[in-house]
Chains A and B, each alone.
Chain A
Amino acid sequence: MYRKQVRRRRAVLLLLVAASLTLLSLYYREGNGGPLHGAQDVVSTVFSPIESGADRALKPVRDLVNWFGETFDARGDRSRLEDQVAELRDRLAREQTQQREAKELSALNELTSGGIVPDGTDPVTARVVGRSPTVWYSTVTINAGSSDGVRVNDPVVAAQGLAGKVTQTTPSTAQVTLITDADSAVTARVTPSGATGVVEPDVGDPSDLQLDYLERGTQIAEGQMVVTAGFSTGDLGSIFPPGIPIGEITEASVEEQQAYQRVHLEPFADLRDMDFVKVLTTHSGGRSKG
């Protein structure tokens, strides 16, 4: 009897492990339109209204717990000032980008606007309803999906700056991969110096990003701002419009710049604690989902 139980237990365990590994393997192999992605979309769509409801219902609990943490960090008093700084930072980034473009394109008569939100873009406001419990997945789920005009690769901004891009959609939800995710890489420019590089994460440390692949000889100082570069070369183009604030240089040692062409920056957006984001779609009419 006991042996039978042990055999049954082992068989079920092996079956579950095999199922997990098969799912992992198949999921990696199939494309976004595969049957596993489809099944996942169905489950996510079914649970989406429950998630939205639960998010609102449990917000007081979450806020209470976070309040203790915020008080501990003495952050409570700063929210009003942070809003003002974010607004001024947006304005500064926009103006600095416009200045740089005006210099570079002075030979041309047409001056393109260096605004953060490019013409023809309709921002869709969405609520962040889900977050991964581990630091390995820097992704969030938002309550706007393909039926709201959200498409894969649409840029996503938070109140203070760039948050990430849409990597998967269902009719009612979308997965946003944050700039702190291991798969993220954003071409960026340091203002006002104009040095360019690629912003990459330091997995596990949401307050530290790295600006890599800087040109040799560039001099970057702490406190300078980093914005999206929005490069375009032939058919290849960055999915992020130019001029969106990303972060501020926090560490720029001469040794590291010379040896690795790298500096460190802290993202402006508080990626661990954001309730709303804007998806810069080019397909919808600028709706919002609260």
Chain B
Amino acid sequence: MILTRGVIARLAALGALAAVAQVVCFSKMDIFGSSPDVALLVVISVGMLGGSLTGAVTGFSIGLLIDCLLLETLGAFALTMLTVGYVAGRYRETVGRPTRAAVVLLGGSLTLLGAVVIAAIQIGTGIDANVSFLVVRDALIKSLIGALIAIPVLWVVRLVVCSALVDERRAARRTAAPRPVESG
């Protein structure tokens, strides 16, 4: 991904929109007792398209904004999303462009990773109450929802940053069918 000022501005707008929409809309949805974590999927998508550095910086920024919007402990979501963004980016750098199946798997597994990291931060900072087994169920349902909507979210993120995706255009050219030779 080639990061020009325009692309960075578009990423910033997308991140702010994702954070606000997550807080005011997606978190309030009730799907089998859980809710979709779209902001996290946006971070995963950016990581898959732009690599570990872009993923980590985007994750940190969106996470920090969510921390501020929720008036929660500063740094908790930032650390979670930075971790997820970095891992998604490392996948891109080590394995290459993810296939559709890989996007679904990454969407689910990295959403689960996000749930594990935030749980670890909570437990690490001390929690003075019983923890229900339903926390695990919530993480699993969130992960399943993440797997289901990973492709549409990646598609939207790709639309936003398409001008910066040099590798994707090259790959598209390589796979394009050759033009027929005109005769006469």
Contacts and interface: CB of A to CB of B under 8 A. Distances in A.
Nearest to A51: B24
A55 B40 CA distance: 19
Contacts of B78: 16, 19-20, 23
A65 B97 CA distance: 32
A99 to B, nearest CB: 33
Contact of A24 (B21, B35, B125, B134): B125
A88 interface: no
Interface string B123-152: 001011111111111100000000000000
B128 A182 contact: yes
B103 interface: no
Interface in B42-82: 52-53, 56-57, 60, 64-76, 78-79, 82
A273 B128 CA distance: 25
A287 interface: no
Interface stretch (B5-13, B114-122, B153-161, B162-170): B114-122
A106 interface: no
Interface residues of B, number: 57
Interface string A138-172: 01010000000000000000000000000010100
Contact of A170 (B71, B79, B118, B125): B71
A28 B67 CA distance: 13
Interface in A6-46: 8-9, 12-13, 16-17, 19-24, 26-28, 36, 39-41, 43-44
Contacts of B27: 130-133
The majority secondary structure among interface residues of chain B is: helix
A204 B67 CA distance: 20
A19 B60 contact: yes
A202 B130 contact: yes
B75 A24 contact: yes
B39 A135 contact: no
Contacts of A58: 21, 24-25
Given A139-B70, A272-B30, A273-B30, A50 B23 contact: no
Size band of the interface chain A makes with B = 35 or more
Contacts of B132: 202-205, 208
Q: Which of A40, A129, A273 has the largest number of chain B CB atoms within 10 A? A: A40
Given A24-B75, A131-B27, A203 B66 contact: no
Contacts of A50: 20
B27 to A, nearest CB: 4
B20 A12 contact: no
A128 B28 CA distance: 10
Given A28-B125, A170-B71, A69 B30 contact: yes
The 5 A-B residue pairs whose C-beta atoms are closest, nearest first, are A23-B75, A204-B135, A20-B79, A205-B132, A204-B132
Given A16-B78, A66-B29, A273-B28, 10 more contacts: A9-B53, A13-B82, A17-B79, A21-B75, A24-B121, A28-B73, A131-B28, A132-B23, A135-B138, A204-B136
